[in-house]
């Protein structure tokens, strides 16, 4: 496997990428991550269709705005807020962890833009592997150990799940089943609701208007349960908002913030509210 850094178009979480190989990392061991600090400020994490049922029990599942939409689980209602990971990078609840996060710091990537093969790579800025007396060896001479084979298998399974997810998203787009999403949440003590936009969701009216044969096809190919999992999960948005609010991480509407600042009569830098009206 060739060496050399992969710098361009790094995916979420990854700060750098290097190909794993026996020549340069023959004595390295996999120690695993001791915390999930890389998740601290991430409120939306990619998720595959294979995970919809499990993830829908804990998080709202939405679809990203714009072209080439992808499914996301929300771990917070506002950018920069993850209510499930504390300041030490420890999960505060026994929730399902998306495979995208469990895969880190490993990933399958092309070593060159025109390459046809994917190579097992890792983020060297993560303290999950290296020269150490502890952990599982990654290589036995020039051969990959069982630990490395397990890592490779997990990444390969993720890529396959990603392909199934792309097929699902293509179907939704081609059949115009996605619509611009909006949720309005009224918080006690505020005159105006918090309105969240900037995501997509299934258009239930179009789903109900589908012909019977199309619905049967959706059910037979396993897509209908995925759609229902997404729709049911949207109810969790209000629970997520309530949890975020109880932690004091909910943005305050500008007019309420201004009134509070005036009442306190203290010179403060007015924070920008992310609550939309």
Q: What is the DSSP letter of 8?
A: S
Pairing verdict, β 29-30 and 136-137: antiparallel
d(CA 193, CA 87): 29
Tokens, residue 27: 């004595």
**Looking at residue 89, what is its pLDDT?**
92
List, for residues 4-41, the tens digit of each pLDDT value: 545 567 999 999 999 999 999 999 999 988 899 999 99
Q: Is the dihedral of CA 215, 200, 175, 162 positive or negative?
A: negative
Q: Are 25 and 143 in contact (CB under 8 A)?
A: no
Phi, psi of 13 (to 5 degrees): 90, -35
Pairing verdict, β 119-122 and 71-74: unpaired
d(CA 109, CA 106): 9
**Looking at residue 232, what is its pLDDT?**
97
Q: Are 55 and 45 in contact (CB under 8 A)?
A: no
**Looking at residue 157, what is its pLDDT?**
98
**Looking at residue 192, what is its pLDDT?**
82
Which residue is listed with tokens 């979480």? 13
**Looking at residue 8, what is its pLDDT?**
63
The CA-atom distances, in angstroms, between 251 and each of 39, 81, 89, 266 are 20, 10, 22, 19
**Looking at residue 266, what is its pLDDT?**
41
How confident is the prediction along the chain (277 residues), in pLDDT tens digits per residue? Answer: 344 545 567 999 999 999 999 999 999 999 988 899 999 999 999 999 999 999 999 999 999 999 999 999 999 999 999 999 999 999 999 999 999 999 999 999 998 888 889 999 999 999 899 999 999 999 999 999 999 999 999 999 999 999 999 999 999 999 999 999 999 988 776 778 888 999 999 999 999 999 999 999 999 999 999 999 999 999 999 999 999 999 988 776 553 344 334 544 443 333 333 333 3
Q: Are 11 and 105 in contact (CB under 8 A)?
A: no
d(CA 22, CA 142): 5
List, as one string, the DSSP characters of 148-169: HHHHHHHHHHHHHHHHHHHHHH
* Whole-structure pTM value: 0.85
Tokens, residue 82: 């993850």
d(CA 196, CA 180): 11
Q: Is 193 exposed, middle or buried (0-12, 13-18, 19+ CB in 10 A)?
A: middle
**Looking at residue 277, what is its pLDDT?**
34
Helix (H) or strand (E) holding 171: helix 146-174
Question: Which of 263, 273, 236, 188 lies closest to 55, judged by CA?
Answer: 236
């Amino acid at each position: 496997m060739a060496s050399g850094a992969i710098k361009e178009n790094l995916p979420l979480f990854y700060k750098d990428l290097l190909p794993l190989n026996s020549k340069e990392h023959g004595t390295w061991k996999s120690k695993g991550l001791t915390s999930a600090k890389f998740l601290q400020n991430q409120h939306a994490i990619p998720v595959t269709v294979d995970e919809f049922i499990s993830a829908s029990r804990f998080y709202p599942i939405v679809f990203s705005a714009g072209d080439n939409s992808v499914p996301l689980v929300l771990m917070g209602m506002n950018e920069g807020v993850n209510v499930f990971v504390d300041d030490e990078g420890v999960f505060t609840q026994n929730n399902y962890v998306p495979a995208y996060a469990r895969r880190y710091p490993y990933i399958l990537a092309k070593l060159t833009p025109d390459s046809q093969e994917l190579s097992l790579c890792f983020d060297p800025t993560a303290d999950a592997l290296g020269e150490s007396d502890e952990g599982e060896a990654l290589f036995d001479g020039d051969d990959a150990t069982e630990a490395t084979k397990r890592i490779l298998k997990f990444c390969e399974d993720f890529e396959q799940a990603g392909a199934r997810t792309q097929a699902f998203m293509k179907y939704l787009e081609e059949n115009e089943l996605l619509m611009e999403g909006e949720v309005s949440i009224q918080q006690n003590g505020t005159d105006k609701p918090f309105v969240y936009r900037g995501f997509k969701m299934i258009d239930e009216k179009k789903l109900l208007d589908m012909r019977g044969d199309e619905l049967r096809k959706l059910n037979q190919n396993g897509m209908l349960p995925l759609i229902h999992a997404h729709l049911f999960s949207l109810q969790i948005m209000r629970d997520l908002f309530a949890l975020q609010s109880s932690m004091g991480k909910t943005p305050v509407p500008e007019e309420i913030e201004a009134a509070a600042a005036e009442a306190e009569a203290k010179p403060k830098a007015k924070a920008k509210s992310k609550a939309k009206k």
